[in-house]
Structure 1
Amino acid sequence: MRLKLPIQLVLFLASGYIFGQTNQFNLEECMAYAVENEANSINATLDEEIAALRVKETVGIGLPQINGSANVQHNPDLPRFFSEYNPGSGFGISDDDAQSLGLEPGDIYGATNFFQLKSNGDVNLSATQLIFNGSYIVGLQAARTYKKLARKQKDYTQSELKASVAKAYFTVLINEERLVLYTSNLDRMEKLFSETQELYNTGFAEKIEVDRLKVTLNNARTQKSNYESLADLSMKLLKFQMNYPLDEPLELEGSISDFVNGEIQNVPQDFDLNNRSDYQTVLTNKELEELNLKNIYASGLPVIQAFGTLGASTQAASFGGLFRQDSNFEGNAGVGPDKWYSYSVIGLRLNWSLFTGLQRNYQIQQQKVEIKKLENTLTQFETRVRIEVEQQGVLLKNANENLGIQKENMELAQSIFDISEIKYKEGVGSSLEIVNADNELKAAQTNFFNALFDAVIAKIDLTRAIGERD
């Protein structure tokens, strides 16, 4: 009989399988997860997006700029115009009105503005188009360079993040390997203590031998507990570096042995400085300073714009009249039809800053000094990186040699312990001898793992120094 599972159960089991698979990470997957989820890495990616949008914003400056406006207003009291009274001029106040006011020839009087009604309105649409602006051209280049700078800074941030994740990743593997080895030591010591206890119970061993082994066993248990806590802490540190949920399980693929037997022995002989993203960042900053110098020069060139305006205006004796189309209303006979009259204008505008009190000249000199400072920084940076690579290469070489020595010492200490254990079980050795052998073995194992950690860190630092992870 064929069993049929409900589709919901199938999907649940499948999702559980997939989830379990996603909890297993190798080094590259850990670094990729960190790049996608760590806050600084995300912000660096967002900064790159902002830079790309800033380029588009700068491009928009050279596109047509269109503005619209509308304005209606009412003047309860129109402003007066002032004039000198000249009899018989036929302009302004009449002679009869002047005589009634007692004006003499040459007197100044204020009269109502006959050429303006109390309400007026205006609507227009204006456009400008940049034809030439040297600073705009340089600004476009600077915006693209700024985008490149954001990308280089993102690369640097992610490169540093990958190095931190790699260190945390291998620390977890080392602590797991150390815990496995110390657990094996503890199991062996517990078995030996149990056998000695039985011999003591039957009268074939002294109590001092049992006590010696008991002290060693207690120390081994404490040491194992310490390394369990250390392994848990190192896993939490890795999750933190990745921004991985601390309460979610995470399993690492592979073992530290795979790394020890492979790339840790590789010491590069040469490198390309351009692979360093921080070096590329300094170079890009220098480009921006050079563009800033070009912009100062460009500010001395003329700016040419085309412009145009299309609009309509009207006047009326009252505010409501602005929205009517009557040819005559409210006793305004002779004024003409109240309607909107169109107008338009087109032209070219040139602005040229001909003299700025030598400010531009001094700005150019300052910018040239800034560029020389960056050139000095680049020279010093190149020297520092070469020394750093050489130093890390020496550290890795020494760490590899020390790792080989400590590995041999650990194997010899293991052999000595095995022989001491055999002698003790055969009755030709003492518990003191086996305790001493165990202490020497633990010391050799500790030295080996310390050397292993130093070699791993030296390899990561050298890889970072030559820019391989960029």
Structure 2
Amino acid sequence: MLCEMIKTPISVFLVLMHFYLSCQDIPNSFTLNSAIEWGMDYNKTIQKSNLELQKAYKEKWKTISIGLPQIRGNLSYQNYLEQPVSLIPAEFFGGTKGDYAEVVFGTEQTAIGFAEINQLLFDGTYIIGVQGLKHYIDTAKNVLEKSQIEIKKSIIIAYVNTLVAEENISVIERNLLALNKNLKEITAVYKNGFSEEEDLEQIKLTISKLRTQFKYAKESYKLSFDILKLLLGIELDQKLKLSDTLEYLTMKNLNYESIDNNYSNNIDIRLAENKVIEEKFLFRLEKAKGLPSLSAFLNGSYVGNSNEFTFTDKEQKWFGSSAFGLRLEVPIFSSFGRQAKSQKAKLSLQQAEKNLTEVKSKVYVEMRKAQNNFNLAKENYFTAIDNLKLAERIEKKNITKFFEGVSGSFQLTQAQQQLYQAQQSKIQSMRAVIIEKTNLENILNNKN
């Protein structure tokens, strides 16, 4: 069956594509760094940005080629179905003055071969255009880098959200296990008449709430994982494992001192600087349009005439001609159109310069805000650890008091809710440390 299928070129192509896709080396597990590296290669948004960069390189050579020799040629064949008639004074042929003779010139069929080479010698707009090519490529690279920064952040968020959901599942499972154990003990106490029915109902209510949270956590885990797969350019049904833990990433991101606070490399600032340079070139370009342009040309042609189609015969006569010349185009008066365009370009340059100043100020404020948020996230993390330890001790004491009959189910439930809240606070504080560090690094465009 396979041998029959690959008999056609289309089938061969499809089979090769299937084998290629099947052999794509997708790792079974990803650290956060390896996920980012994979995303830089296979994320669809980055791939499209890479294509835009390639288009910029092609545009570069397209612009350069304008100033290089341009050669064109054409072949034409003409066969008169009815030849045109010209009127010539009859007196040229000895006829009466005032009369005209009908004359047919030329042959019925004509073949012409023509070639021409043009060379641009001077054009102010071309010079400005070539000077701006490096900047054009730099802008395309910065646009690609901005896409990479944004996708990297999205991958980190999706990766961390998946770990958070996974940690939530683990914590809720442990809580449910402990509650079910308590339920059995309280049920036994209740049957012996040493506990009220309200105590039993209270713990059942808590278990019910946790089961709902558990279901939500599982859905969140699946959704976060699917978002991560989409960002990595991986099929949703592909099985993956995340090898980094939430605890490890939190500890890794706590070191604030390693961050360079120089924000001049911020991608938005660099793009705003690109815009200023672009507007400068456009302003110069509009001014250059008032300069003359000079080009040279050299052409040649061969013409064959015949009443029959004999153009492929060796005996066919061909008559050649050639010419060399210069073309000078001088803008003289545009009814002030060029002046208006130059003034408009100058205003656009001023806008870009003001925008650059504004962007720098915004980035500075964003950096300070990000630093503050990261410091707060660190403090909240250490506070959450202390609060969790305290909540665990309180819950443990209330369990002991409850079974000793010193306190009721209300106090126990309150202590348990405090514990669950402290657990969530710790998990969210760990997430905040990682995300806020990422936000700060993105603003600084830290490469480490």
TM-score (norm: length of structure 2): 0.86
Root-mean-square deviation (CA, aligned residues, Å) is 2.7
The Cα of 1:152 is off from its aligned counterpart by 0.8
Of residues 49, 52, 57, the one that matches 2:54 is 49
Partner of 1:60: 65
Partner of 2:339: 361
> 2-side partners of 1:402 and 1:340: how far apart?
92
Contact 1:65–1:127 (CA under 8 A) maintained in structure 2: yes
2:17 equivalent to 1:39: no
2:129 equivalent to 1:139: yes
Secondary structure of 2:37 counterpart: helix
Of residues 26, 30, 33, the one that matches 1:25 is 30
2:237 equivalent to 1:232: no
Partner of 1:209: 199
Partner of 1:395: 373
**Alpha-carbon deviations, 1:241-283, whole Å to 9, x = none?**
3332211122112211123233235277763333222221221
Secondary structure of 2:334 counterpart: coil
> 1-side partners of 2:81 and 2:178: how far apart?
107
Partner of 2:109: 119
One-letter identity of the residue aligned with 1:320: F
The Cα of 1:108 is off from its aligned counterpart by 5.5
> 2-side partners of 1:156 and 1:175: how far apart?
29
Secondary structure of 2:254 counterpart: helix
Secondary structure of 1:347 counterpart: strand
One-letter identity of the residue aligned with 1:278: D
Of residues 419, 424, 431, the one that matches 1:446 is 424
Contact 1:120–1:313 (CA under 8 A) maintained in structure 2: yes
2:271 equivalent to 1:298: no
Of residues 55, 73, 80, the one that matches 2:78 is 73
Contact 2:32–2:244 (CA under 8 A) maintained in structure 1: no
**Alpha-carbon deviations, 1:399-456, whole Å to 9, x = none?**
3223322322221111111122234445555444322221221122233334444443
Partner of 2:436: 458
One-letter identity of the residue aligned with 2:57: A
> 1-side partners of 2:397 and 2:314: how far apart?
118
Contact 1:193–1:213 (CA under 8 A) maintained in structure 2: yes
Gaps of 5+ in 2: 1-22
One-letter identity of the residue aligned with 1:174: V
2:342 equivalent to 1:342: no
Give the paired residue count: 426
> 2-side partners of 1:232 and 1:77: how far apart?
80
Partner of 2:309: 320
Q: Which moved more, 1:125-134 or 1:197-206?
A: 197-206
Partner of 2:17: none
Distance 1:20-1:341 versus aligned 2 partners, 3 A rule: closer
Secondary structure of 1:320 counterpart: coil
Q: Which moved more, 1:195-204 or 1:49-58?
A: 195-204
> 1-side partners of 2:26 and 2:299: how far apart?
66
The Cα of 1:203 is off from its aligned counterpart by 5.1
Contact 1:78–1:112 (CA under 8 A) maintained in structure 2: no
Partner of 1:277: 267
One-letter identity of the residue aligned with 2:93: I
Identity of aligned residues (%): 24
> 2-side partners of 1:293 and 1:211: how far apart?
78
2:384 equivalent to 1:384: no
> 2-side partners of 1:140 and 1:19: how far apart?
41
> 1-side partners of 2:266 and 2:352: how far apart?
17
The Cα of 1:384 is off from its aligned counterpart by 0.7
Contact 1:267–1:393 (CA under 8 A) maintained in structure 2: no
Secondary structure of 1:275 counterpart: coil
Partner of 1:420: 398
Greater CA radius of gyration, 1 or 2? 1
Q: Which moved more, 1:418-427 or 1:399-408?
A: 418-427
One-letter identity of the residue aligned with 2:110: N
> 1-side partners of 2:112 and 2:242: how far apart?
73
Of residues 196, 208, 213, the one that matches 1:218 is 208
Contact 2:260–2:446 (CA under 8 A) maintained in structure 1: no
> 2-side partners of 1:21 and 1:200: how far apart?
56
One-letter identity of the residue aligned with 1:111: E
Distance 1:425-1:124 versus aligned 2 partners, 3 A rule: same
Of residues 174, 179, 184, the one that matches 1:194 is 184
Contact 1:193–1:217 (CA under 8 A) maintained in structure 2: no
Contact 2:298–2:322 (CA under 8 A) maintained in structure 1: yes
> 2-side partners of 1:278 and 1:341: how far apart?
64
Contact 2:89–2:101 (CA under 8 A) maintained in structure 1: no
Partner of 2:13: none
> 1-side partners of 2:35 and 2:257: how far apart?
24
The Cα of 1:382 is off from its aligned counterpart by 0.6
Partner of 1:5: none
Partner of 2:20: none
Of residues 221, 235, 241, the one that matches 1:245 is 235
One-letter identity of the residue aligned with 2:413: V
One-letter identity of the residue aligned with 2:103: T
> 1-side partners of 2:26 and 2:36: how far apart?
17
Partner of 1:434: 412
The Cα of 1:321 is off from its aligned counterpart by 4.6
Distance 1:262-1:322 versus aligned 2 partners, 3 A rule: closer
**Alpha-carbon deviations, 1:339-383, whole Å to 9, x = none?**
112332233333332443433233222211110010011011111
> 1-side partners of 2:201 and 2:340: how far apart?
86
